[in-house]
Structure 1
């Protein structure tokens, strides 16, 4: 167990790292290295999630899990296709955004199906500490730390420290999302791609363009196998069909090319009554789908988000004031705060910053009936 002084130093270090504006991979490398000084672990994984649906958008791994991706699809199906009291979504909703299996079960870890049926036989992990990384209303990711028989279970003090890091880790993830640059030139839109997954979790049909979309997802360096995103959607679709969740099975992901994609999953029912097949659709995200995510990542207040949304629609200051029932001076104050947080000096720069490089080249173009830029 770490000393109080060491725990305080780690919390301070993680907070500083989170404010450095690093890309996600660099942030996590430094933050997890610091955390390991106070909360040792043999392996760890850090999923990022879409804050609107809590569906995984990527996973980074550390320690003994590094490079082990062959069982990711099973993890995703368990996480999103079953109902456990300490799922990441459940931890995100709890008053304390961290928990450990050994502590939560009073030492009866066999009560955790995930640990007993998957983690122990597959990896030899005997305890897991989970946390959700929350910033205000949104959850941007989570963390699972693992120990094996060679180490003692996680302590209440360690869980408390990890819980205290929740907001700092969320800050690092959401600002890292904004700092992330495209790894390759954007690819031309290919239209929606469709994949059908059967009840045995096998891909049985792929539409034209599906392999290109999957390759674009698979090309992101440092990430674990992005197929866990597809598996998470499949599991979530089945939970949604069973009435176990009311969150739609969809997420927004930035691919290797830098293009924002939106992924949907829909459960299918056959005429003979059999169920289990799921259709997954991957398409380029339209501006209305991605803007709320990006705006939330800047950490704007609710009123600042309202002002920003109106600026993105081309509304002038006087009309913004009338719409949200404040004075023009108050609108200017909100705009100044927004500019400071986003790091821009004008409305034009704000629009370009929010839309990223995916949309900037097409700014000024007309939107078609589909909500995408006409002529794309």
Structure 2
């Protein structure tokens, strides 16, 4: 399978990331352009919660949905090679299964039991798109048997795209979307059985499930399946971070999902309970601010500014001169696309919450230490 010159594709990907597209527009544009430089049969780009690395949305090319449960199981509950959480720790976070197994991909359970028999694919390239240690996206692309596998040059090309892709994904996350008002009442709770199937659900849970693109008949979307599998992995000591994700639905609403295993009397139960609720400002404000691409120092300044501190007070708390604080604020305003503090507050909070909550909240408490 021939790989074309990549210079033009790289330039187009850079322009795409700064085009102000929403997630759908950016993701589909990225996958189309990537296919020109690194041809592949099927693939998937996923967004992730940068705090936990869990999948929040997926954008697929010729991939079926009915195998999502197996995809999540192999990623979180099966010991295997080239798992995303391992690739994320590499200096260059890209893995080519054929190369990383010295030409023996059959050592991978995922290859033997999923990719070949169900996807009909023999070659896999995976990538983690990260910046400053935070993971914002995942990529998996495949080629069938009978064609050449992914080579080191293609892996290097994908690895070098990471800053550009992160920029596009973060911009898409906070792109202007008219949030839909939700009239959900009561707790949104789902119980998933040991077989990975939905066994119980509350009325509010069914509505929230629909907002994420699933339904009781078809099952859970991949983000919730990943949350369930991660809960089992956490219970088994295979995952260090409790499973939690912050997700923006296609309608523009932010939700927070949590999952925990339900132990029976023998302590061997594998059922998992999932709760979904509308995100509070302390949950989402750090995510929105991070999506602006601020430096750690700029994030500190935003935290104090949104609590109401003036320039001198911020400088005193952070041991900076007022002039330096103002320079940082100017950079922050530029990255957030606003002109002053009032607009920054609206960009971080009112644009995301007021259409759904019907009223604004004071800025104090948005950057609670527990939410970071």
Q: TM-score, normalised by structure 1?
A: 0.90
Deviation (angstroms), 1:34: 2.0
Distance in 2, Cα, partners of 1:95 & 1:165: 14
1:142-291 maps to which residues of 2 (within 5 A)? 142-182=138-178, 185-218=180-213, 227-291=221-285
Distance 1:236 1:293, change over 3 A: same
8 Å contact from structure 1 (residues 133, 169) kept in 2: yes
Q: Does 1:121 align with 2:117?
A: yes
Distance in 2, Cα, partners of 1:212 & 1:38: 40
How many residues align? The count is: 361
Q: State the partner residue of 2:27.
A: 28
8 Å contact from structure 2 (residues 3, 39) kept in 1: no
Q: Does 1:349 align with 2:348?
A: no
Distance 1:329 1:366, change over 3 A: closer
Distance in 2, Cα, partners of 1:226 & 1:332: 47
8 Å contact from structure 1 (residues 250, 265) kept in 2: yes
8 Å contact from structure 1 (residues 72, 225) kept in 2: no
Q: Does 1:301 align with 2:295?
A: yes
1:35-74 maps to which residues of 2 (within 5 A)? 35-62=34-61, 64-65=62-63, 68-74=64-70
8 Å contact from structure 1 (residues 187, 257) kept in 2: no
Distance in 1, Cα, partners of 2:186 & 2:238: 32
Greater alpha carbon shift after TM alignment, 279-288 vs 191-200: 191-200
Q: State the partner residue of 2:370.
A: none
8 Å contact from structure 2 (residues 9, 33) kept in 1: yes
The superposition leaves residues 32-91 of structure 1 with CA deviations (integer Å, 9 ceiling, x where unpaired) of 2222222110111111110110100011011x32xx211112212221222333112221
Q: TM-score, normalised by structure 2?
A: 0.91
Deviation (angstroms), 1:275: 2.0
Distance in 1, Cα, partners of 2:234 & 2:111: 24
Could you tell me which of 123, 130, 137 is aligned with 2:133? 137
Distance in 2, Cα, partners of 1:297 & 1:215: 26
Unpaired stretches in structure 2, ≥5 consecutive residues:
368-372
Distance 1:367 1:346, change over 3 A: closer
Distance in 1, Cα, partners of 2:149 & 2:275: 41
Deviation (angstroms), 1:95: 0.8
Q: State the partner residue of 1:19.
A: 18
Deviation (angstroms), 1:9: 2.4
Distance in 1, Cα, partners of 2:90 & 2:204: 41
Q: Secondary structure at the match of 1:321?
A: helix
The superposition leaves residues 137-191 of structure 1 with CA deviations (integer Å, 9 ceiling, x where unpaired) of 3111111110001321111111111111111111111111111514x62213535
Distance in 1, Cα, partners of 2:261 & 2:339: 46
Give the CA RMSD over aligned residues: 2.3
